[in-house]
């Protein structure tokens, strides 16, 4: 039986990418469970976690995928990106190299993800003010240059974590709902020939029974 938690108007797959240690898993646990872990437990990665929010009186369910540490070896498979309509590209504001590597992660997205994927550049660990190595303005202009939205967050003290996820989900919602209006189709094509149906790549039985993404129900 489907409980209230399973009722939603839209299901969006979002992927977390960026160097190891930047706080991806903690952003996920902060947003979906309001939890933070001081230790890095990269091996105990969940495949994804979900949380629903309201946008424009619609229930938008985010299915947020986390790596299990494969990013260390740049060994993320294309299945990870398949069906994703949004990506949070995370770096650590106290580690310049993780910011420099954002360029490589963008390339990875170009190679593996949908061409229209919505990308948000996220400077995490904003609580580490005294250790800041990446100026906000520099990251902001890099984001502008590459057509990304930008935000600084702290999974530790919760700053902007809600806002980051809300903003990217609202942005995706706007794109998808406008296309539905324009095309009048219940199923939205995110880019030519690619229908958003993350359900097809879901690993668990339970989730696989859910309503296909992006249909009005």
User: Which stretches of the chain bind ligand GDP, using CB under 6 A?
Assistant: 20-26, 37-40, 42, 124-125, 127-128, 154-156
User: Least CB distance from residue 23 to ligand GDP, whole Å?
Assistant: 3
Q: Per CB under 5 A, does 210 bind Mg ion?
A: no
State which of positions 25-64 bind Mg ion (CB under 5 A): 25, 42
Euclidean distance between CA atoms 43 and 70, whole angstroms: 9
**Residue 128 touches which of Mg ion, ligand GDP, none (Cβ within 5-8 Å per kind):** ligand GDP
Nearer to Mg ion, 63 or 210 (CB): 63
**Residue 167 touches which of Mg ion, ligand GDP, none (Cβ within 5-8 Å per kind):** none
State which H helix or E strand residue 51 sits in: strand 48-55
Helix axes 24-33, 161-183, angle to 10 degrees: 80
Nearer to ligand GDP, 26 or 210 (CB): 26
Using alpha carbons only, give the angle 50, 79, 21 rounded to the nearest 5 degrees.
65
Nearer to Mg ion, 85 or 155 (CB): 155
User: Least CB distance from residue 47 to Mg ion, whole Å?
Assistant: 12
Contact 16, 28 (CB under 8 A): yes
Phi, psi of 28 (to 5 degrees): -65, -50
Paired residues of 53 in beta bridges: 60
Residue whose beta carbon is closest to ligand GDP? 23
Nearer to ligand GDP, 50 or 59 (CB): 50
User: Least CB distance from residue 148 to ligand GDP, whole Å?
Assistant: 18
Contact 87, 119 (CB under 8 A): yes
User: Least CB distance from residue 26 to ligand GDP, whole Å?
Assistant: 4
Task: Assign 3-state DSSP to the chain and report helix, strand, coil percentages, each to 5.
Answer: 35, 20, 40
Nearer to Mg ion, 70 or 211 (CB): 70
Half-sphere exposure of 146 (CA within 13 A, CB side): 23
Using alpha carbons only, give the angle 14, 17, 21 rounded to the nearest 5 degrees.
130
**Residue 87 touches which of ligand GDP, Mg ion, none (Cβ within 5-8 Å per kind):** none
Phi, psi of 92 (to 5 degrees): -105, 120
Q: Which window, 16-24, 53-61, 97-105, 120-128, contacts Mg ion (CB under 5 A)?
A: 16-24
**Residues in the site for Mg ion, rule: CB under 5 A?**
24-25, 42
């Amino acid at each position: 039986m489907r409980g209230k938690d399973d009722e939603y108007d839209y299901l969006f797959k979002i992927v977390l990418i960026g160097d190891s240690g930047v706080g991806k898993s903690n952003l996920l646990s902060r947003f979906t469970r309001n939890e933070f872990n001081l230790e890095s437990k990269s091996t105990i990665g969940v495949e994804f976690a979900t949380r629903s929010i309201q946008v424009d009186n619609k229930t938008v369910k985010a299915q947020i995928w986390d790596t299990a540490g494969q990013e260390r070896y740049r060994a993320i498979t294309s299945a990870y990106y398949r069906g994703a309509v949004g990506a949070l590209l995370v770096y650590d504001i106290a580690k310049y190299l993780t910011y420099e590597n954002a360029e490589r992660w963008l390339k990875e997205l170009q190679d593996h993800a949908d061409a229209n994927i919505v990308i948000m550049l996220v400077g995490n660990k904003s609580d580490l003010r005294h250790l800041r190595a990446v100026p906000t303005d520099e990251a902001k202009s890099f984001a502008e240059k590459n057509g990304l939205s930008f935000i600084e967050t702290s999974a530790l003290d919760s700053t902007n974590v809600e806002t980051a996820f809300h903003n990217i989900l609202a942005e995706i919602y706007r794109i998808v709902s406008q296309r539905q209006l324009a095309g009048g189709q219940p199923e939205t094509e995110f880019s030519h020939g690619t229908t958003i149906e993350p359900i097809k790549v879901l690993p668990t039985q339970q989730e696989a029974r859910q309503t296909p993404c992006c249909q009005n129900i």
